[in-house]
A and B are shown apart, each in its own frame.
Chain A
Amino acid sequence: MHILKRLLSCIREYKLPTILTLIFILGEAVIETLLPFITANLVTQIQESSPMNTILRTGIILTIMAVISMLCGGTAGFTASKAATGLSKNLRHDMFEKIQMYSFENIDKFSSSSLVTRMTTDITNVQMSFMMIIRMGLRSPLMFLFSTVMAFYMGGKLAMAFVVVIPVLVIGLGLISKYAMPAFHRVFRKYDKLNESIEENVRAMRVVKGFSREEYEKKKFSNAAEDIRKDFTKAEQIIALNTPLMQICLYFDMVFILFVGSKMAIIDRTIDIGHISAMLTYGVQILMALMFLSMIYVMVTMSVESAKRICEVLEEEPTLHNSEQSLELITDGTIEFENVSFKYSAQANKFALENINLTIPAGQTVGIIGGTGSSKSTLVQLIPRLYDVSEGSVKIGGVDVRNYDLTTLRDAVAMVLQKNVLFSGTIKENLRWGNAQATDQEIIEACKLAQADEFVESFPDKYDTHIEQGGTNVSGGQKQRLCIARALLKKPKILILDDSTSAVDTKTDALIRQGFREFIPETTKIIIAQRITSVQEADQIIVLDNGKISAIGTHEELLQSSHIYREVYEQQTHGGEE
């Protein structure tokens, strides 16, 4: 119920088409039920050889009714699709907007692929059922109601046929849906899993072939597919009972009406031929209405899952909020960590960072070294408030980062993420993410600094080269350099490189750092790296181990004081103890 309310609140400007749809559908349903009644009159008139004029008049009335019904139905078709596609547009808009407000924590919670499914498949499902509901959801019960009333009104005793058939059908359809739905739910979940495993196989094809596991994979897949076939067949067989049930009810009606009807016509003379034929039509209409109702029921329950998933996104509370103070000026790039501790979720029992104290004067270059899981990335992500500290505070320019306006803060702190992406579009367009107003000259300068200019110039289209989605048409090292250039264009006070030159060769890597020293001396630079060479000339190097600072110092100092640092250094320069 709550979900329904939440989704319906997104109808907004499409309320009018929704209501219009309902009105037109009402009109259509009324006429549709009156049609057989008046047709019955027509039949009777023909049968009784009424005068031409009477027959013609009835004919004209009927034609007009059909035309009105056509107009109603047609218009409702338009308004229904306006309303449904509008709703899905609004839902998609709201979801996208909400996701833009998410913090990293929120994003981590939903995976990106699950967000994509929610915004595409799930919304399409909801759109389809919404359209179905406003078109059929009202129409079918109305048709059912009107037809039943008319049948009783017109048919008298004949309507007894429906008294028997309707409960049978309702119970039958109900039972079928009740058993079919969980079966379908199960099957769809398995089906998703099967498709995931296909995707996994396609992606890992080199591994499959490398280990000659083709036959093994075939067997694995066959078993899973066979399993699905069994479940799917069962589910479909249950649903397939609908057709014979419908038909036998219909047949019963026909025989009953024909037989009893003829008896009534001949013995009691209480009914005429026209009415018998109208009763047959009502019979079909009643059954069809019930059939549609059960279809709607099935479809709606199936899309409830989708609706839930959409609501989850809409109702997720962003865990990061802009501060009330919203300072919009950052004086300099001094960074301080005061007793900072952090864990990714309140429930986690282990801190990812514990008791970090650090002072980085503006303009310094700081290197961070540490093993996998030592929380290097976590540490720097606290600076532009990608996550908020659990305890303690992070300050820039002497002010707690939580007191800055978020946009101001993130504009001042340029971060090149470890898992970085370029977007489809030209190189220039991508770089302008850093600064939408950047001139071509500024772009070239940033690229020169990031050692990207040379290879960009070697492309036929140079800076207008189109980047494919995911940046697949540039090499890993080139991508990293473009990402650095993009960050440089922000002219940040603080520049953070999170393992951003791992695919760049050592020489280029050194050139980039040299450029930083020469051209952006006031910018505070934090470099996370695997290679000692990337950090060894830094003003201070932080050695992180298991979420704690193990040592801080210059290269020379650390060689003396930190066994971890020395170990890594020796391993990289001499290839370990040999």
Chain B
Amino acid sequence: MPDLKKRPQPKKGVFSRLMKMLFSFYPKLVPITIICIIFSSIASSIPDMYIQKVVAIIVEALENDWNWNKASAEIIPMMIFLVMLYLLATVAITVYSQLMAVITQGFLNKMRQSMFHKMQNLPIRYFDTHKHGDIMSYYTNDIDALRQLISQGLPTLLRAGTVVIAVFFIMMYYSFWLTLLTIVGVIAMIAVSKFMGGGSAKYFLRQQKSLGDTEGYIQEIMNGQKVVKVFNHESVCQKDFDEINERLCQDSYRANAYANTLGPIVMNIGNILYVLIGVIGGLLVLNNVKNYSFSGSVLEVSIVVAFLNMTKQFTGNVNQVAQQVNAVVMALAGAERIFNVMDEIPETDEGYVTLVNAEISENGEVKETKKHTGQWAWKHPHQADGSVTYTPLKGDVRMFNVDFGYEEGKTVLHDVSVYAKPGQKIAFVGATGAGKTTITNLINRFYDIADGKIRYDGININKIKKSDLRRSLGLVLQETNLFTGSVLDNIRYGKLTATDEECIQAAKLAGADDFITRLPNGYQTELSGNGANLSQGQRQLIAIARAAVADPPVMILDEATSSIDTRTEAIVSAGMDQLMKGRTVFVIAHRLSTIRNANLIMVLDHGKVIEKGNHEELIAQKGNYYQLYTGAFELE
């Protein structure tokens, strides 16, 4: 079928990798489950043989006018065996269905966790280059598809497959002719379901696409609903939407129609086959056609009767296998995407210089200590002679001739040098895309420089363990991201061991205490959906408090106050000044008034430093900064 080829074909090896994982997670439970499934499947096929035997006895009894005692002598042992078999099968079914629940959820949990854990170790670049919606769909759609596969697909395949094989051999045991007939019928069924399934798969793909389009449109309009209203655009949007909606309806209609029709058609082919077996079987018996079979027995009515049931079972199970094919293909495609995430190269960290609590004696001698002293030092082991040196953490950050580009061949920063002495405030000014944020991305090693060097307290930052490097850098971004949890929890995110008092202290420092105490539940107020119940400025204040509680020697403020109004900013900036005291601070600000007191202002343009100096120097230069700063006044 050409249509089938349009289905996403997962790479080879995905299935075996999935199986290997399944077995390694549950080395005992999975084999037990498989054995139980196979056993119960076989146990449910054997009765067909017994039905035949019982029927044969009845026929014999009727023909020879046996009394019940004589017949029951043969029937009762069979019945006992049957009951035993059924009891065992029920036990097996109970065991495997319960185990499947454990295995499925356990496996999904492990997949979810290892994907999430892996994700935490991926570099920022991964998140900058992948749509968040796509990443989310690994956790939702793909995991759901896997759930379908493991809890239903695989057991069905195993069970139905076993039954098909078992029934096939039983059929062969009785009669080749009737088996052949059944096989012909099944081939017809498979051909029809392949044809219909192909159509259905094609339209399901289309439906998926239309669904995506519709979802995208709805999302866009719902997010911009207020703009739609302001522009009286309701009817235009409605028209566009109706078009998309109609297309989705059509595609979804076709996809479902194929899928819905498949069932009755295949089932009735089964019914016709059933009739054919009856009629042809009957004819064969009547005409005493020579029977070929493993058992070598003559074709009798009892065999035909048993065959009727076997045909039903056979076709029913083939049908079940066919129905699972789509789900299996989809799940494997999902599994492949999940594996791709797991195979991503994680953020490497070859750093070995760590940050330790230190006691610094009067003569400048640094001693490592376990307890929290408020003083920190870089612990620098030297591989050459095995010695360890300690450098006090000061917050001296220097960049020398740094080049960088997010993509190869596209340089964003050219030859940038920045010297920040401990306690200095360095400001970056420039248009969007000038490379301000990029510089901060390099200091905390979200990205690695292409050329040049960056030194932190004289240490090459590549030698510093990333987690320790970032611990020493406080970060407040323009886009505030808060987490579900209380306000207090959110502030504590900066320092997990902080006491409530420390957190409140930090909030006071950031000027956030005032509004927090006015919230319905004060510091215990639960935030949800990225703090949707707070204004942007309030969120920003919490983010600043979060950075404050971490008490880092170096702070990076990337447009941290852009969404705070100037009056509130006045409150914040008092706190910020407190916060910045004794720290090295890198500031990116839109409002130039906030950076007037910086020790050094660097004006960036297209990734190059075009001017640098303090406010007075730059104003005196009457260059770019002067233009920016006085732009508005000049025009008056």
Complex interface bits, A358-399 against B, C-beta within 8 A gives 1, otherwise 0: 000000000000111100000000001010000000000000
| Alpha-carbon separation in the docked complex, A104 to B66 (Å) | 87
Instruction: For B562, list chain A residues within 8 Å (CB).
Output: 502
* B289 is an interface residue with CB less than 8 A from chain A: no
Tell me, rounded to whole Å, the shortest Cβ–Cβ distance linking A238 to chain B.
9
| Alpha-carbon separation in the docked complex, A255 to B71 (Å) | 16
Complex interface bits, A65-104 against B, C-beta within 8 A gives 1, otherwise 0: 1110110111011101110111011001100110111101
Q: Which of A93, A214, A567 contacts B245 (CB 8 A)?
A: A93
* B218 is an interface residue with CB less than 8 A from chain A: yes
* B278 is an interface residue with CB less than 8 A from chain A: yes
* A164 is an interface residue with CB less than 8 A from chain B: no
A199–B106 touching, CB < 8 Å: no
Instruction: For B241, list chain A residues within 8 Å (CB).
Output: 93, 96
Instruction: For B399, list chain A residues within 8 Å (CB).
Output: none
Chain A contacts with B in 190-249, Cβ cutoff 8 A: 195-218, 221-222, 225-226, 228-229, 232-233, 236-237, 239-241, 243-244, 247-248
B570–A421 touching, CB < 8 Å: no
B475–A210 touching, CB < 8 Å: yes
Chain B CB within 10 Å, residue with most, of A58, A202, A477: A202
A100–B593 touching, CB < 8 Å: no
* A503 is an interface residue with CB less than 8 A from chain B: yes
Chain A contacts with B in 325-362, Cβ cutoff 8 A: none
A59–B278 touching, CB < 8 Å: yes
| Alpha-carbon separation in the docked complex, A107 to B224 (Å) | 11
**Beta-carbon nearest neighbor of A248 in chain B:** B90
Q: Which of A120, A197, A215, A414 contacts B218 (CB 8 A)?
A: A120
| Alpha-carbon separation in the docked complex, A201 to B312 (Å) | 52
* B124 is an interface residue with CB less than 8 A from chain A: yes
**Beta-carbon nearest neighbor of A483 in chain B:** B227
* A573 is an interface residue with CB less than 8 A from chain B: yes
Q: Number of A interface residues, CB 8 Å? A: 167
Instruction: For B218, list chain A residues within 8 Å (CB).
Output: 96, 115-116, 119-120
A212-B467, A509-B632 are contacts. A203–B227 as well, Cβ < 8 Å? no
Q: Which of A49, A420, A505 contacts B286 (CB 8 A)?
A: A49
**Beta-carbon nearest neighbor of B107 in chain A:** A229
A514–B635 touching, CB < 8 Å: yes
Q: Which of A81, A225, A433, A571 contacts B113 (CB 8 A)?
A: A225
* B253 is an interface residue with CB less than 8 A from chain A: yes
A567–B570 touching, CB < 8 Å: yes
A73–B263 touching, CB < 8 Å: yes
Tell me, rounded to whole Å, the shortest Cβ–Cβ distance linking B616 to chain A.
12
**Beta-carbon nearest neighbor of A198 in chain B:** B139
| Alpha-carbon separation in the docked complex, A573 to B594 (Å) | 9
Tell me, rounded to whole Å, the shortest Cβ–Cβ distance linking A352 to chain B.
13
A66–B55 touching, CB < 8 Å: no
Instruction: For A195, list chain B residues within 8 Å (CB).
Output: 136, 139-140
Q: Which of A49, A237, A564 contacts B102 (CB 8 A)?
A: A237
* B267 is an interface residue with CB less than 8 A from chain A: yes
A203-B481, A277-B308 are contacts. A73–B632 as well, Cβ < 8 Å? no
**Beta-carbon nearest neighbor of B102 in chain A:** A233
B68–A210 touching, CB < 8 Å: no
* B362 is an interface residue with CB less than 8 A from chain A: no
A197-B484, A203-B481, A266-B66 are contacts. A77–B446 as well, Cβ < 8 Å? no
**Beta-carbon nearest neighbor of B50 in chain A:** A258
* A19 is an interface residue with CB less than 8 A from chain B: no
* B391 is an interface residue with CB less than 8 A from chain A: no
Q: Give the A-B contact count at a CB cut-off of 8 A.
A: 449
Instruction: For B517, list chain A residues within 8 Å (CB).
Output: none
A42-B282, A205-B124 are contacts. A59–B275 as well, Cβ < 8 Å? yes
A202–B264 touching, CB < 8 Å: no
- Interface stretch among B14-22, B254-262, B318-326? B254-262
A200–B530 touching, CB < 8 Å: yes
A210–B248 touching, CB < 8 Å: no
* B225 is an interface residue with CB less than 8 A from chain A: yes
* B226 is an interface residue with CB less than 8 A from chain A: yes
B230–A417 touching, CB < 8 Å: yes
**Beta-carbon nearest neighbor of A55 in chain B:** B282
* A1 is an interface residue with CB less than 8 A from chain B: no
Tell me, rounded to whole Å, the shortest Cβ–Cβ distance linking B114 to chain A.
10
| Alpha-carbon separation in the docked complex, A529 to B221 (Å) | 27
* B75 is an interface residue with CB less than 8 A from chain A: yes
* A452 is an interface residue with CB less than 8 A from chain B: no
Q: Number of B interface residues, CB 8 Å? A: 168
A66–B59 touching, CB < 8 Å: no
A131-B256, A372-B537 are contacts. A244–B305 as well, Cβ < 8 Å? no
**Beta-carbon nearest neighbor of B494 in chain A:** A211
| Alpha-carbon separation in the docked complex, A281 to B222 (Å) | 53
* B432 is an interface residue with CB less than 8 A from chain A: yes
Instruction: For B636, list chain A residues within 8 Å (CB).
Output: 537
A206–B475 touching, CB < 8 Å: yes
Q: Which of B104, B109, B211, B635 contacts A236 (CB 8 A)?
A: B104
Q: Which of B79, B257, B494, B628 contacts A259 (CB 8 A)?
A: B79
- Interface stretch among A2-10, A149-157, A302-310, A468-476? A468-476
A93–B139 touching, CB < 8 Å: no
Dominant secondary structure at the A interface: helix
* A558 is an interface residue with CB less than 8 A from chain B: no
* A507 is an interface residue with CB less than 8 A from chain B: yes
Tell me, rounded to whole Å, the shortest Cβ–Cβ distance linking A89 to chain B.
4
Tell me, rounded to whole Å, the shortest Cβ–Cβ distance linking A501 to chain B.
11
Complex interface bits, B60-102 against A, C-beta within 8 A gives 1, otherwise 0: 0110001110011001000100110010011001100110111
A198-B116, A233-B105 are contacts. A78–B261 as well, Cβ < 8 Å? yes
Chain B contacts with A in 192-231, Cβ cutoff 8 A: 211, 214-216, 218-231
B136–A276 touching, CB < 8 Å: no
Chain A CB within 10 Å, residue with most, of B40, B233, B592, B632: B632
* B272 is an interface residue with CB less than 8 A from chain A: yes
Tell me, rounded to whole Å, the shortest Cβ–Cβ distance linking B30 to chain A.
15
Instruction: For A115, list chain B residues within 8 Å (CB).
Output: 218, 222, 225
**Beta-carbon nearest neighbor of A216 in chain B:** B496
| Alpha-carbon separation in the docked complex, A50 to B400 (Å) | 103
* A462 is an interface residue with CB less than 8 A from chain B: no
B71–A262 touching, CB < 8 Å: yes
| Alpha-carbon separation in the docked complex, A370 to B567 (Å) | 8
* A52 is an interface residue with CB less than 8 A from chain B: yes
Tell me, rounded to whole Å, the shortest Cβ–Cβ distance linking A75 to chain B.
8
A62–B275 touching, CB < 8 Å: yes
* B158 is an interface residue with CB less than 8 A from chain A: no
Instruction: For A73, list chain B residues within 8 Å (CB).
Output: 261, 263-265, 267-268
Instruction: For A229, list chain B residues within 8 Å (CB).
Output: 105-106, 108-109
Instruction: For A200, list chain B residues within 8 Å (CB).
Output: 481, 483-484, 530
* A43 is an interface residue with CB less than 8 A from chain B: yes
* A28 is an interface residue with CB less than 8 A from chain B: yes
| Alpha-carbon separation in the docked complex, A222 to B68 (Å) | 66
B58–A273 touching, CB < 8 Å: yes
A112-B223, A259-B79 are contacts. A198–B537 as well, Cβ < 8 Å? no
Complex interface bits, A279-292 against B, C-beta within 8 A gives 1, otherwise 0: 01100000000000
Chain A CB within 10 Å, residue with most, of B238, B248, B312, B567: B567
A262–B58 touching, CB < 8 Å: yes
Instruction: For B594, list chain A residues within 8 Å (CB).
Output: 575
A386–B54 touching, CB < 8 Å: no
Q: With A46-B286, A248-B90 given, name 18 new contacts (CB 8 A).
A: A69-B271, A70-B269, A81-B253, A88-B249, A93-B242, A112-B225, A195-B140, A204-B483, A206-B124, A210-B477, A211-B471, A211-B550, A222-B117, A263-B68, A370-B567, A505-B631, A568-B567, A571-B573
9 closest cross-chain pairs (CB), A and B: A73-B264, A77-B260, A507-B631, A204-B481, A81-B256, A46-B282, A70-B268, A236-B101, A210-B475
Please list 23 pairs of residues, one from A and one from B, whose beta carbons are closer than 8 Å in the complex, sorted by A's number. A39-B275, A43-B308, A46-B281, A67-B268, A73-B261, A76-B260, A81-B260, A102-B225, A107-B225, A116-B215, A120-B211, A198-B116, A209-B444, A211-B471, A229-B108, A244-B93, A263-B72, A505-B431, A530-B566, A531-B566, A568-B567, A572-B591, A578-B597
